[in-house]
């Protein structure tokens, strides 16, 4: 029978593409990882890895085994959840949240969870939307609340369970005294000559650049930032225009005007994520239920 521990090592090797990367993640020596992979291949009776210098790739059978591994892990986590003793919600959860991105109702919801379940200790960890799901998958966080951007709800990643809390539209954000501030709506092509505050290493970068490209121009960049809060702050002092989700507050809100964008389907989706199979753990179930109840009353469905 295949050894689950060795399957986890195989998954780490596959994701890092090297023995050394898997060893760093797992806290093993490279020799130990190599030995476990050799033992797994002997047990399976087939080659699972193609070794080439410092890099490693999976054979087709190796990739199929990884797919089965994800399903096995889901069932194991579900079994562990079922063995948890019923009773009051207690213990310790590490929850990731993108503090600077909002919407701020996320932290409000978690405050209500703490008030309702005083025996449950919650540690909040600042994460980016890009890294949140991976931190849960690796078991470094129990739950994350994050944002994704697009024309439709995101699809869950293998091994993860997600719930869509709601969504809010993207709007053009301009300085309060800008000539566009009083418009009821705006088209992207009207912004060809505007200085733009654009995003770097942020999901909104793809959306913004795609909208401009679709209208036949490249944005004239006035500033490049890494988060929405900074973009709104620069827009508020007249540095340029940008796009941002409606529920991410400006600082102060009176310094900017939000103008609806015509023919733009992209939205920000607020999502709560945990590892598939762990959603029945009482503490995680309590958090997911409470956060969903609070946010669905405040975020547009």
DSSP class per residue in 78-101: HHHHHTSPPSS--EEEEEEE-TTT
Summarize pLDDT for 223-248 with one digit per residue, the tens.
999 889 899 999 999 999 999 999 88
Task: Please indicate whether residue 201 or residue 176 has the higher confidence score (pLDDT).
Answer: 176
Long-range interactions of 211-216: CB distance < 8 A, separation 24+: 211/243, 211/261, 211/264, 211/266, 212/188, 214/188, 215/187, 215/188, 215/189, 216/189, 216/192
Class of domain 4-82: mainly alpha
pLDDT number for residue 301: 41
CATH superfamily for domain 168-265: Periplasmic binding protein-like II (3.40.190.10)
The domain ranges of the chain are 4-82, 91-165+268-295, 168-265
- The CATH number of 91-165+268-295 is 3.40.190.10
Summarize the confidence of residues 23-49 as an average pLDDT. 90
| Residues contacting 254, CB < 8 A, separation 6+ | 176
pLDDT number for residue 300: 45
Summarize pLDDT for 270-290 with one digit per residue, the tens.
899 998 888 888 888 888 888
Predicted TM-score (pTM) of the model is 0.75
Q: Are 91-165+268-295 and 168-265 the same fold in CATH? A: yes
């Amino acid at each position: 029978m295949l050894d689950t521990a060795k399957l986890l090592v195989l998954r780490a090797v596959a994701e890092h593409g090297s023995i050394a990367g898997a060893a760093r993640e797992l806290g093993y020596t490279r020799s130990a990882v190599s030995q476990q992979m050799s033992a797994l291949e002997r047990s399976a009776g087939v080659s699972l890895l193609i070794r080439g210098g410092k890099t490693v790739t999976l054979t087709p059978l190796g990739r199929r085994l990884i797919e089965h591994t994800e399903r096995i892990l889901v069932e194991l986590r579900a079994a562990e959840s079922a063995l948890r003793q019923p009773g009051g919600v207690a213990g310790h959860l590490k929850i990731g949240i993108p503090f600077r991105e909002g919407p701020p109702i996320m932290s409000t919801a978690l405050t209500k969870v703490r008030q309702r379940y005083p025996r449950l200790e919650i540690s909040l960890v600042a994460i980016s939307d890009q890294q949140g799901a991976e931190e849960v998958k690796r078991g470094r966080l129990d739950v994350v609340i994050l944002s994704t951007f697009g024309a439709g709800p995101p699809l869950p990643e293998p091994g993860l369970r997600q719930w869509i809390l709601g969504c809010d539209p993207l709007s053009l954000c301009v300085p309060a005294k800008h000539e566009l501030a009083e418009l009821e709506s705006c088209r992207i092509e009207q912004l060809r000559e505007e200085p733009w505050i654009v995003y770097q290493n942020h999901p909104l970068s793809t959306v913004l650049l795609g909208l401009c490209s679709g209208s036949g121009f490249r944005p004239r960049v006035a500033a490049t930032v890494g988060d929405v809060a900074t973009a709104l702050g620069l827009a508020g002092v007249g540095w340029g225009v940008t796009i941002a989700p409606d529920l991410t507050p400006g600082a102060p809100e009176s310094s900017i005007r939000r103008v609806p964008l015509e023919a733009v389907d992209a939205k920000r989706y607020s999502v709560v994520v945990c590892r598939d199979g762990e959603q029945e753990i009482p503490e995680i179930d309590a958090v997911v239920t409470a956060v969903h109840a609070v946010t669905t009353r405040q975020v547009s469905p």
